[in-house]
Chains A and B, each alone.
Chain A
Amino acid sequence: MAKKKNIPEINASSQADIAFTVLIFFLVVSTMDIDTGIVRVLPPMADPNVKQEDIKVKERNLLLVFVSGSGNIMAGGKVISLNALKDKAKEFILNPLDDKDLPEKKATEIEMPDGSKWSYPVSEGVISLQNTRDTSYQVYIQVQNELTRAFNEVRDEVAMSKFGKKFADLDEAERKVITKAIPMKISEAEPRKMVK
């Protein structure tokens, strides 16, 4: 007759140590940082076979922002500080007083998510950002940031008056409407050759 054997319980106290080891391994080899950045869409390369027609932009529709090699910023022909750039850009985008020197607006019908039409005077303005080859990347990003902020604030204001919500809180369809009303038109030209 087989004797009833008492199987000893497996000691599980080291399982925690094993799990800790695996945990620490994952902590070391993995990263958690989420990449953030200022997103831009570059203009496509011009086809060399097609003759380029110069697109004429009226002077009032263009805000030239130039960043020099020494980090000075010039907007619309005047030297301007980084702090003042956002308000300058906002004034340019909105043109609240219908100034003759600021961009013209074209009333555009925008289709709303509920099917109705919304007429909004869309600005024709283009911000042209230029820099030299020895402009520092940091200043360039700061300028890009200020311009983005100007657009974001205008979008927030319009979204607030139209939908009663901030731009970031809108859903996809509503966001499309606002993006159509306030298109982010920033043209990044190739760097200027410094003429001496």
Chain B
Amino acid sequence: MAVMKKKGEREVPAMSTTSLPDVVYIILFFFMLSTSMRDQELLVTYKLPEATEVQKLEKKNLVSYIHVGVPSLNMQAKFGTAPRIQLNDSYKTTKDILDFIAGERDNLNESDRASMTVCLKADENTKMGVVADVKQELRRANALKLSYASSKVLNY
């Protein structure tokens, strides 16, 4: 006959946590695959305009970014609050776009150069004069695929 244990002595065994690292590793790998590294520090602040008919920008390595906006708070003492153009990691003027595009184009494979896209991230309060200057420079640099970055909303 089985030995009956007394009721009070039964203990809940400690939960095994040996699989916890595995679970965490799975989450870690998911994040490593699905995210991309932050590659630039923003020196300007902007709030993107809203639009409903937006397209996703795929193939991030083919995309070059031009940021237009008010200098961020810690830079305002030095650079004021007039909208600035940021290329790579510094403030630039429209004249530098030509060199910037040429540099970005050099970084790409020969076969990818035709599908290079410029993503223009401009603050919604920017005047079109600045944007038009950028567009003219892009035309001059022959970077014709342009995406006006805007955040997706379902309706206004």
Given that A36-B150, A191-B132 are contacting pairs, would A136 and B127 also be in contact in the complex, using a CB cutoff of 8 Å? yes
Decide if B54 touches A38 in the complex (CB within 8 Å).
yes
Kindly state the separation between the CA atoms of A143 and B90 in the bound complex, as whole angstroms: 31
A37 x B148 contact (CB < 8 A)? yes
Residues of A within 8 A of B113 (CB): none
**B127–A15 contact, CB under 8 A?**
no
Q: A30-B31, A140-B128 are in contact. Are A145 and B52 (CB under 8 A)?
A: yes
Given known contacts A44-B139, A44-B142, A145-B51, A23 and B28 CB-to-CB distance under 8 angstroms: yes
Give the interface segment out of A56-64, A88-96, A97-105, A127-135. Answer: A127-135
Mark contacts of B132-150 with chain A using CB atoms, 8 A cut-off: 1 yes-contact digit, 0 otherwise: 1001101110101111111
Contact of B146 among A36, A40, A44, A132 (CB under 8 A): A40
In the bound complex, what is the Cα–Cα distance between A100 and B136 (angstroms)? 36
- A1 on the B face (CB < 8 A): no
Complex contact B36–A145 (CB within 8 A): no
Q: Is A20 on the interface with B (CB-CB < 8 A)?
A: yes
Question: Is A70 part of the binding interface, using a Cβ–Cβ cutoff of 8 Å?
Answer: no
Report whether A13 and B49 are in contact in the complex, using a CB–CB cutoff of 8 Å.
no
The chain B residue with its CB closest to the CB of A31 is B38
- Interface residues in A30-69 (C-beta closer than 8 Å to B): 30-32, 34-45
The answer to whether A41 touches B37 (Cβ under 8 A) is: no
B128 touches A31 (CB 8 A): no
Q: Contact check, A131 vs B53: say whether CB atoms are below 8 A apart.
A: no
Residue B96 lies at the interface, judged by CB distance under 8 Å to chain A? no
Residue in contact with B17 in the complex, picked from A13, A26, A190, CB distance below 8 Å: A13
Contact B53 A152 (CB under 8 A): yes
Count, chain B residues at interface, CB 8 A: 55
The answer to whether A138 and B49 have CB atoms under 8 Å apart is yes
Contact across chains for B35 and A137 when beta carbons are under 8 A apart: no
Q: Which residues of B contact A145 (CB under 8 A)?
A: 51-53, 150
Bound CA span A163–B57, Å = 27
Residues of chain A within 8 A of B57, CB atoms compared = 34-37
Distance in angstroms between the alpha carbons of A22 and B148 in the assembled complex: 35
Q: Which residues of A contact B139 (CB under 8 A)?
A: 42-45
Tell me which residues across on chain A come within 8 A of B135, comparing CB atoms.
42, 188
Cβ-defined contact, B128 with A137, below 8 A: yes
Point out the residue from A16, A23, A31, A140 that lies within 8 Å of B20, measured CB to CB: A16
Chain B residues contacting A7 (CB-CB under 8 Å) are: none
Instruction: State whether A133 touches B127 (Cβ < 8 A).
Output: yes
Cβ-defined contact, B150 with A141, below 8 A: yes
Q: Does chain B have a CB within 8 A of A149? A: yes
In the assembled complex, the Cα of A184 lies from the Cα of B144 at a distance in Å of 15
The reply to whether the CB of A187 lies closer than 8 angstroms to some CB of chain B is no
Answer yes or no: A2 CB below 8 A from chain B CBs: no
- B148, A141: Cβ atoms under 8 Å? yes
Complex interface: chain B residues within 8 A of A43 (CB): 139, 144
A-B contact list, 16 entries, CB within 8 Å: A26-B32, A32-B36, A34-B56, A36-B55, A37-B119, A37-B120, A37-B148, A41-B146, A42-B146, A44-B144, A136-B127, A138-B124, A141-B150, A145-B51, A145-B150, A148-B53
- Contacts A37-B55, A133-B127 supplied; 13 other A-B pairs, CB < 8 Å: A16-B21, A16-B24, A18-B21, A19-B21, A19-B24, A38-B147, A39-B55, A39-B117, A41-B146, A131-B128, A137-B125, A137-B126, A142-B49
